[in-house]
Amino acid sequence: MLWNIDLTLVDVAIVTRDAYAEAFRAVTGRPLVKLVPPLGRPDSEIIFETLAVNGIVAEDGHLPAFISALASAFADRRKRLPKEGRAMSGARDALKAVARLDGVVQTVLTGTIKGNAVLKLQAFGLDKYIDFELGGYGEEVYPKATLLQVAQGRAKARLGTPFTVSNTVVIGDSARDVQAAKIGGAAMIGVASGRSMEAELRAAGADVVLPDLSNASEVVAAVAGLTSPVAARGPVSPAP
């Protein structure tokens, strides 16, 4: 089970923007004028595009330097996260409920770099449900679909079980998350709590679309349905 983080589990956009601004100045010596919108992209892609739109020609050392500076800047602001951010509606109960399912291991598939991903979830007490060593993160410079396969490989190496569309579920809020799941080989639960509307998530190919995570029973039913032997028969509808 792989969770997207931003606008699926938490919203910490204000702190993230401030950390990007500090990291940009630290790496380039210039103030950040424009930060490109995330739109489901990994930090590595956001960094390159942000450099470009601010007139900086990317060089070999820019990405590792920016990732390091971003991690430091975000860590310096971690105490602001509970005050200026929020857990998304139902996130804690959904994580807790899914954790009770037999055989389910929860991790993340996120565009956020690993250190910042941990801090985002720790700020709201959500980290205890997540095995961070099995996840896929924004500093790994892969398209998200490939990152999904990397995470599946990590899970296989640890757990000894091959992971495919029949036993892998992604939960995310953007059409890009849906596309990554479909290309990478996973079932997909779209949550219309962030970047994409319900119709967009359905059009992108989500197997189940929920308005948010506020009904933990719906989330559990969707996960169970998508990983059961009958899941191959067709899309699963959320519980009434």
pLDDT tens sequence across 70-96? 999 999 999 999 999 999 999 999 999
Average pLDDT of the chain is 93
| Of residues 72 and 142, more confidently modeled | 72
What is the C-alpha end-to-end distance of the chain, expressed in Å? Answer: 22
Q: Which of 206, 197, 136 is nearest to 171 (CA)?
A: 206
Residues above pLDDT 70, as percent of the chain? 95
pLDDT tens sequence across 143-195? 899 999 999 999 999 999 999 999 999 999 999 999 999 999 999 999 999 98
| Res 40: pLDDT | 82
Distance of CA 17 to the CA centre of its chain: 17
The yes-or-no verdict on residue 230 having pLDDT over 70 is no
Distance, CA of 25 to CA of 58 (rounded, Å): 14
pLDDT tens sequence across 104-117? 999 999 999 999 99
| Res 231: pLDDT | 42
pLDDT tier at 229 (50, 70, 90 boundaries)? low
